[in-house]
Amino acid sequence: MTIWIQASLLTLQANTKHLNVTLNGGVFIFAKLCYNIIMIYLDHAAATPVSSKVLKTMEPYFTDQFFNPSAAYLPAKKVAAEYEAAKGEIAHAIGAKATDLVITAGATEANNLAFSAVGDGKVLYLETEHDSVRKVAEQYDGKSIRVLSNGLIDMDDLKAKISDDVVLISVALANNEIGVIQPLSEIAGVIRDVKFDRLKRGVKTPLYLHSDASQALNLLDISVARLGVDLLTLNAAKVYGPKGVGALYVSHDVKLSPVSYGGGQEKGLRAGTENVPGVIGFAKAISEAKEHLNGNRKKYANLRKILLSEIKDYELVNKKHALDNFVVLCFDGIDAERLIYLLEDKGVYVSTGAACAASKGLKSHVLTALGLSDSQITGSLRLTLGETNDEEQIHEAAKLINEAVASEKARING
Amino acid sequence: MGKKVFVGMSGGVDSSVSALLLKEQGYDVTGVYMKNWSKDLPGMRCPWAEDLADAKRVAVKLGIPFEVWDFEDAYREKVVEYMLDEFKKGNTPNPDVMCNQEIKFKLFFEKAMERGADYIATGHYARVKDGQLLRAVDENKDQTYFLYRISNESLKHTLFPIGDMLKPDVKKLAEEKGLHNAYKKESMGVCFVGEVGMKDFLKEYIDIKPGEIREVETEKVLGYHEGAIFYTIGQRHGLYLSGISGEVNDGLPYYVVDKNLDKNIVYVSKNLNDSHIWTDKLELRDVFIRTDTVHSRHFATNGERVSEEPRNDGRDEACREWSVSVRLRHRAPLIPAKFNGESLFFENEIKRPASGQSAVLYDDEVCLGGGIIA
């Protein structure tokens, strides 16, 4: 059986010029096992494959090193130490310490935990936030801060809305649909001024800045001090780590309420036996990301350029301030969802926006916020580049996208 | 361009193949997903978004336009409210029959006609011939039980492209044509929440009202329930009576044989011969007789019997009765019976179906109409 699989893989490798097999630094075997159809994955903002190095690092903690870190004997203590070291590695990547992190089961939980800082206060959030912020903010009667047509925060609107009862302001570092990077340190500056003003007037209400950095972790050099955030959400699944693992950075003066009670793990904020392999994998993934940060940015900028020059008749939605791997194209008059299905048939996987919103048939609140018309929103396609892509793939993808758009135009014009 | 057809596409293989066949036959086809329900229920995630995506994926594959028509408000009003009202009266309604009558073959039909359609089409297993509704060729899948109340006006403009196919052939064709949903599990819309699922569904809308479960023969209280309206005659699940104390464990299950809604009592029995269960007569209400049938001479268009002669009540006069075949449940075997326009008479006793369910009448392959069991 094994021999047969290897043989067929080799055949595929021989027959398919796009099959990309790298046995080190990330194994990405993408082959559709029929007709030698290639797979070109352009949805890295939705999910990334776990790299081979990460997987290898995690493996022993499922088997030999399975011990509960809270157990008393030495082998368990060793696992506990390695878990703490992994947390330290994750924290180090954002300029923090292991004790500043609360490990969670992903970014959604981290965002939810961050909002527990609010108490009886009020919250503000950027109108383009992911649902895992928007829906929590709704629970706190949150008010949204407008964005400008380029997707950047409207600083005047922010300033106007910070009333004395606001405790938390949540602004994602990079948007999950258009990749626009927000000027967090500038926002932090505004917040600092408000804090000083409050203290001057004897107002005791604290004010915290939270940011979801899920999309940006492997593309920007992040330091909590430089960003000026009090709370920062991290996610392993977007940086070639395992799904279901995330973390919340919490600065010392923020008080949170536990999401679960039990054995007191994670500083008593999230009880439950530690996800040791997940955290070990996250640490490996994040250190890999840091190592390849500059190379990756250059690579994605180049691939982005190829897409933008070879694809025809579109309007670029995220012209400026976006992560290098985000390309959002608008084909006005076309239904981009139809393009997804046409392209999936050719092995090209793309998206129209947040995977969770798109699957519910909802109109993108992000593109709406930018002031796009309904037909422009319907015509918008999100391509997010990643480690699985190379130049050859991108040329091919551009060609296939052009063909799909042309066939839809032909169908509409009858 | 061929004639204009709007085909209801649910994301399942039947409606997908229907769209495919219409397209191949040269019709000008538009696929439509009818969004009737999107709310998750306890223990059941509503798969509407996935179903919609499946339907659209097939439409794209076929190169036909695709639209979503939102009937959620109408569905809640016409189907769900009706269902809740019926349950509150102690009946067990069939939401599918109502959905076809009020949504698919009314609102969907009307909107399609407004949009200039020559026909609507669905993936139902049924046939239309000379304006008559006929049973499907695939006896196993025949869905006329759910369609007997649809208007003749809509039927005149309806195509059932797979009505003369067998289900396995439909699947095979879907696979041959590369439709991804060829082997998709059959949809589980709200119409199919089933007996136990239905109770959870109802509990979302109807407050629980604790009451007694009594043995019908002895009036002995065996247990307690959350509301008599949640129970259906003949039901044997969800009683939680197994292993009750003092019980002779003979391994036989209790059935619901009767309920008293005023006193909120559910009566059960182990006796399969209990007189509540069996009957040789069923009274029908809201009888709907399909006018364009050969039997129309027997009935007026409103379903009332045409009184060619002074009407004589009672079943003694043979000339007032017509021999029909009756289906009392989807896929249940056809049973011969006499029908006098109001009641059905059976030669042998039958297990009494729950009130609110439909009795559908046939003359061979022709669906004559039917009524709601009183």
Each residue's pLDDT tens digit, A34-78:
444 579 999 999 999 999 999 999 999 999 999 999 999 999 999
pLDDT the model gives residue B132: 93
CA distance B50 to A197: 51
The CATH architecture to which A2-50+293-412 belongs is Alpha-Beta Complex (3.90)
Domain end residue (candidates: B194, B226, B241)? B194
| Same-domain pairing of B175 and B90 | yes
| Same-domain pairing of B182 and B236 | no
- Answer whether B57 sits within 8 Å of A341, measured CB to CB: yes
Residue in A with minimal Cα distance to B52: A361
Instruction: Tally the domains of chain B.
Output: 3
* Helix segments in B76-133, DSSP class H: 81-88, 95-99, 109-114
CATH number at residue B239: 2.30.30.280
Domain ranges, residue B313: 278-373
CA distance B122 to B117: 14
Q: Which amino acid is at B374?
A: A
Which percentage of chain B shows pLDDT scores above 70?
86
Catalytic residue among A243, A356, A399, A402: A356
Let me know if residue B91 belongs to a domain: yes
SS3 B337: strand
Quick check: A71 and A43 in contact, CB under 8 A? no
CA distance B371 to B374: 9
Q: Cα distance from B201 to chain A (closest Cα, Å)?
A: 22
Let me know if residue B200 belongs to a domain: no
Phi, psi of B241 (to 5 degrees): -105, -5
Quick check: A179 and A325 in contact, CB under 8 A? yes
Using CA of residue B353, residue B358, residue B359, residue B364, what is the dihedral sign? Answer: negative
Query: pLDDT for B188-207, tens place per residue?
Result: 555 545 555 777 788 888 89
Q: Using the predicted structure, report yes or no on whether residue B87 has a pLDDT greater than 60.
A: yes
Query: pLDDT for A336-345, tens place per residue?
Result: 999 999 999 9
For A62, what's the count of Cα atoms within 13 Å in the CB-facing half-sphere? 7
| Same-domain pairing of B150 and B31 | yes
| Same-domain pairing of B282 and B235 | no
CA distance A318 to A45: 15
CATH number at residue B325: 2.40.30.10
Nearest Cα neighbor of B289 from B279, B275, B303 is: B303
Instruction: Give the start-to-end residue ranges of the domains of chain A.
Output: 2-50+293-412, 55-290
Over residues A238-263, the mean pLDDT reads: 95
- Mean pLDDT across chain B, nearest whole number? 87
Nearest-5° angle of CA B314, CA B319, CA B323? 95
Q: Cα distance from B32 to chain A (closest Cα, Å)?
A: 14
CA distance B145 to A142: 51
| Same-domain pairing of B158 and B244 | no
Q: Cα distance from B60 to chain A (closest Cα, Å)?
A: 6
Phi, psi of B81 (to 5 degrees): -60, -45
| Same-domain pairing of B56 and B186 | yes
Nearest-5° angle of CA B76, CA B82, CA B84? 90
CA distance A93 to A104: 17
Residue B74 tokens, joined: 């109408």
Task: Collect all residues of chain A within an 8 Å Cβ-Cβ radius of residue B66.
Answer: 338
- Answer whether A341 sits within 8 Å of B63, measured CB to CB: no
Task: Collect all residues of chain B within an 8 Å Cβ-Cβ radius of residue A378.
Answer: none
Element (H, E) at A168: strand A166-170
Q: Using the predicted structure, report yes or no on whether residue B354 has a pLDDT greater than 50.
A: yes
Quick check: B59 and B9 in contact, CB under 8 A? yes
The CATH architecture to which A55-290 belongs is 3-Layer(aba) Sandwich (3.40)
Query: pLDDT for A158-175, tens place per residue?
Result: 999 999 999 999 999 999
* Helix segments in A94-223, DSSP class H: 107-114, 131-139, 155-161, 184-200
Residues with Cβ within 8 Å of B75's Cβ and at least 6 positions away in sequence, in order, are: B36, B37, B99, B103
- Answer whether A341 sits within 8 Å of B60, measured CB to CB: yes
Question: Taking the model in full, what pTM does it have?
Answer: 0.86
- Establish whether this prediction's ipTM goes over 0.90: no
Residue A274 tokens, joined: 């530690």
- Answer whether A338 sits within 8 Å of B60, measured CB to CB: yes
SS3 B366: strand
Over residues B39-65, the mean pLDDT reads: 87
| Same-domain pairing of B369 and B302 | yes
| Same-domain pairing of B189 and B223 | no
Quick check: B284 and B359 in contact, CB under 8 A? yes
- Of the candidates A345, A359, A407, the beta carbon closest to that of B49 is on A359
For B209-244, letters b (16+ CB in 10 Å) and e give eebbbbbbeeeeebeebbbbbbbbbbbeebbebeee
Quick check: A272 and A263 in contact, CB under 8 A? yes
Let me know if residue B351 belongs to a domain: yes
| Same-domain pairing of B67 and B117 | yes
